[in-house]
Amino acid sequence: MREFTYTKAADAAEAVRLAAAGARYLGGGTNLVDLMREEIERPTALVDVSGLAQGITEHPDGSVEIGAATRNTAVAAHPRIRRDYPVLARAIVSGASGQIRNAATVGGNLLQRTRCPYFYDVAARCNKREPGSGCDARQGFHRTHAVLATSAHCIATHPSDMCVALVALDAQVHILGPAGARVVAVADLYRDPGETPHLETVLGPAELITAVRLPRAVDGAVSTYRKVRDRTSYAFALVSVAAVLRVVDATVADVRIALGGVASRPWRARVAERELLGAPAEPDTFKRAAEAEFRSARPLPDNAFKVSLAPRVVADVLKGLSG
Amino acid sequence: MAHEGISTAEVTVRVNGQSRSADIDTRTSLLDLLRDRFRLTGTKWGCNQGGCGACTVLVDDQRTLSCLMLAVQADGREVTTIEGLGDAAALHRLQEAFIAHDGFQCGYCTAGQICSGVALAGEAAAGVPSVVTQDLRAETVELSVEEIRERMSGNLCRCGAHNGIVAAVSEVYGS
Ligand SMILES: Cc1cc2nc3c(=O)[nH]c(=O)nc-3n(C[C@H](O)[C@H](O)[C@H](O)COP(=O)(O)OP(=O)(O)OC[C@H]3O[C@@H](n4cnc5c(N)ncnc54)[C@H](O)[C@@H]3O)c2cc1C
Ligand code: FES
Ligand code: FES
């Protein structure tokens, strides 16, 4: 690990000041410390933001605001989250382990880096780690990689479970930067890889995530999260599905679907949603809509299974929610 | 701040009820602080990347991987290691259960397993759900064998003593 200085931020404004001077934000450290040890990340200064806002505030308009330093476990355990946003509680506890969730912050989870083995292997070529060096995943082991909105330069996925639920819930990220505060939808936080896979989000230099806001839960809707992985627990998703569904008179009145493990970002399944809205809430409809989402998929030999697996999981999750 | 070209910091941690300080390189993990500086070698160094759980300790009563936490982040906090849970003269009841149920073979993962087991009981009592919890609204979660298996999944055992481990946790904290 390279040397670095360490400062605990007293408040968000101080954190942004230090970051503008070159420091890197540190949350629970469960991803950054690991990457620093591998010297994939090489910050020379850290500003610890894990002691900043950790509250969960219930606003009068029905929305819920979660401070960026709230630990993943605390979010999943909060009675309001468990009652009104089960998809979020279930997504969080599907990820990592009890120990890691106790340390991981909401801000750090949003900005965790990919688990592509070639990104982690400093002897391999990786355009994300070293722009312009190439991508060894295309010709290598890529069964865990992305099939939607990939580019010739990168096929890595965003590994988070929590973020998939946040995208399905239309959550927003509150940001503070040197130029002031702004709000971005979680769905718009990430970029597709294109020719610049090392640029992963729309955050500018020194921008700090201060909170995540969940809009008021959809009245009468049910929601859940399902993760498919190589072993039952403590493994990243091959495919995961977050879904919010409201059925009225056997018709889909409201539906939001997001997918993990299939793209460089938590993927909002807008094509499927459009097909489903107003359609009969039946297994056939679910299946057709989910398949439509993957018409634009560009799989490689080893991850082609995701193109048939993901729609089946979506259809089954919707069937479970409507039944 | 930097002295002799190395970034250092002073940390004070309450370890097993006793306040202890050290001047450290900022790169030191909590795991290295406990083992190399405080000579508390009960906590084990396994993968050093969050994958195995051997380094699990309690930080402010929450189970945490000490290999992924910088020691500077533990400054001012309360850390409990296996040495603080029990000793040969007075074993923790979960340690006794591990012996009774053959919850280990080589013993390398055991300190982490026991710290994890002690903490998961508190989590379930506080209503923290797991991925197998059916009723998300329950105020406390009953620790069925399925719940224990899931909640212990962050602690690997290369000797494959998992059945004994689950039996031991189940005897002490199970429903
Ligand atoms: C063995 C293992 C298994 C895992 N399995 C899963 C899994 O199955 N599913 C899953 O979803 N995750 C999994 N994870 C990843 C885990 O969820 C992340 O490591 C964690 O969420 C990161 O949070 P953190 O607070 O520790 O972030 P850190 O490591 O502290 O930071 C991560 C990044 O976010 C930046 N950052 C942190 N806070 C802020 C902020 N407020 N504003 C701006 N930038 C910020 C940091 O600069 C850094 O770049 C696993 C991790 C490990 C080690
Ligand atoms: S040594 Fe910390 S998880 Fe393996
Ligand atoms: S007892 Fe040997 S690793 Fe668990």
What is the full DSSP assignment across A139-162?
TS--TTS--SS-BTTB------SH
If DSSP states are collapsed to H, E and C, what string results for A171-198?
CEEEEEECCEEEEEEHHHCECCCCCCCC
The domain containing residue A294 runs over which residues? 222-322
Mean of pLDDT over chain A: 98
Minimum-distance ligand 3 atom for the alpha carbon of B113: 4
Residues B73-91 have a mean pLDDT of 97
Cβ of A159 less than 6 Å from ligand 1: yes
Ligand 3 center–CA B103 separation, angstroms:
8
Within the 256-315 window of chain A, which residues sit less than 8 Å (CB to CB) from chain B? none
Do B136 and A89 lie within an 8 Å CB cutoff?
yes
Q: How many CB atoms lie within 10 A of CB A270?
A: 13
Domain presence at residue A22: yes
B123 and chain A: CB distance < 8 Å anywhere?
A: yes
Q: Closest to B137 (Cβ–Cβ): which among A1, A82, A97?
A: A82
Token pair belonging to B80 = 């409990």
Mean pLDDT of chain B: 96
The atom of ligand 3 lying closest to the CA of B104 is 1
Residue A263 lies in a domain: yes
Instruction: Kindly state whether residue A272 falls inside one of the protein's structural domains.
Output: yes
Nearest Cα of chain A lies from the Cα of B111 at a distance, in angstroms, of: 14
Instruction: Please report which residue ranges of chain A form alpha helices under DSSP H.
Output: 12-20, 32-37, 72-77, 79-84, 86-93, 98-103, 106-110, 117-120, 162-168, 270-276, 283-293, 305-322
Cross-chain residue pair B153–A83, CB shorter than 8 Å = no
The answer to whether A288 touches A275, Cβ cutoff 8 Å, is yes
Res. B6 pLDDT band, cuts 50 70 90:
confident
Domain membership of residue A138 (yes or no) is: no
Which residue in the set A33, A46, A99 is minimally distant from B154, CB to CB?
A: A99
CA of B122 to the centre of ligand 1 (A): 24
Angle among Cα B118, B124, B128 to the nearest 5 degrees reads: 125
CB contact under 8 A, B26 and A3: yes
Question: How many Cβ atoms are within 10 Å of A2's Cβ, its own excluded?
Answer: 12
β-pair type (A222-228, A208-214) = unpaired
pLDDT surpassing 50 at residue B1: no
- CA-CA-CA-CA dihedral for A210, A216, A220, A226, to nearest 10: -10
CA distances from A305 to A6, A241, B108 (A): 45, 16, 38
Q: How many domains would you assign to chain A?
A: 2
CA distance A34 to A17: 25
For B75, nearest residue in chain A (alpha carbons): A8
Cβ neighbours around B150 below 10 Å, total = 21
Q: Quick check: A86 and B136 CB within 8 A?
A: yes
Q: Is the pLDDT of residue B2 over 50?
A: no
Q: Comparing C-alpha atoms, which of A72, A82, A66 is closest to residue A102? A: A72
Burial of B5 (0-12, 13-18, 19+ CB in 10 A): exposed
Task: List CB contacts (< 8 A) between B29 and chain A.
Answer: 33
Burial of A139 (0-12, 13-18, 19+ CB in 10 A): exposed
Which domains does chain B show, CATH number per domain?
Answer: 8-85 (3.10.20.30), 93-173 (1.10.150.120)
> CA A15, CA A75: separation in Å to the nearest integer?
23
Q: Classify residue A235: in a domain, yes or no.
A: yes
Domain harbouring A281, CATH code: 3.30.390.50
Is ipTM over 0.85? yes
With a cut of 80, say whether residue B5 has pLDDT above it: no
Could you give the angle at which helices B162-173 and B93-100 cross, rounded to 10 degrees? 140
Q: Pull the structure tokens for residue B25.
A: 């390189």
A98 touches B116 (CB < 8 A): yes
Q: Would A270 be classed as within a structural domain?
A: yes
**Domain presence at residue A304:** yes
Rounded-to-integer distance, Cα B86 and Cα B93, Å: 9
The residues, any chain, with a CB within 8 Å of residue B89's CB and separated by 6 or more, are none
Region for B102 from its dihedrals, namely left if φ exceeds 0, alpha if ψ lies in -120 to 50, beta otherwise: left
- Rounded to an integer, the average pLDDT of B89-108 is 98
CA atoms within 13 A on the CB side of B12: 3
Is residue A96 domain-resident? Answer: no
Name the amino acid, one letter, at A152: A
Atom number in ligand 2 closest to CA B47 = 4
Provide the total of helices (H) and of strands (E) in chain B, helices listed first: 6, 6
Contacts of B62 in chain A (CB under 8 A): 73, 102-103
- Cβ(A56)–Cβ(A75) below 8 Å: yes
Q: Is the pLDDT of residue B4 over 90?
A: no
**pLDDT, position A228:** 98
Of all ligands present, the nearest one to the C-alpha of B45 is 2
* Per-residue pLDDT reduced to its tens digit, B142-174: 999 999 999 999 999 999 999 999 999 999 999
Tokens read off for A301: 């030999």
* pLDDT tens per residue, range B8-62: 999 999 999 999 999 999 999 999 999 999 999 999 999 999 999 999 999 999 9
Q: How far is the CA of B50 from the centre of ligand 2 (A)?
A: 5
B3 has a pLDDT exceeding 90? no
For A257, phi then psi, to 5°, come to -130, 135
Q: Which CATH number goes with the domain that contains A19?
A: 3.30.43.10
Q: How far is CA A74 from its chain centroid?
A: 18
Q: Count other Cβ atoms within 10 Å, centred on residue B114.
A: 26
Residues of chain A with pLDDT under 50: none
Q: Where does residue B67 fall: left (phi above 0), alpha (psi -120 to 50 degrees), or beta otherwise?
A: alpha
* Residues B137, A83: C-beta atoms closer than 8 Å: yes
| Distance (Å) from the alpha carbon of B31 to chain A's nearest alpha carbon | 13
Are A232 and B153 a contacting pair at CB < 8 A?
A: yes
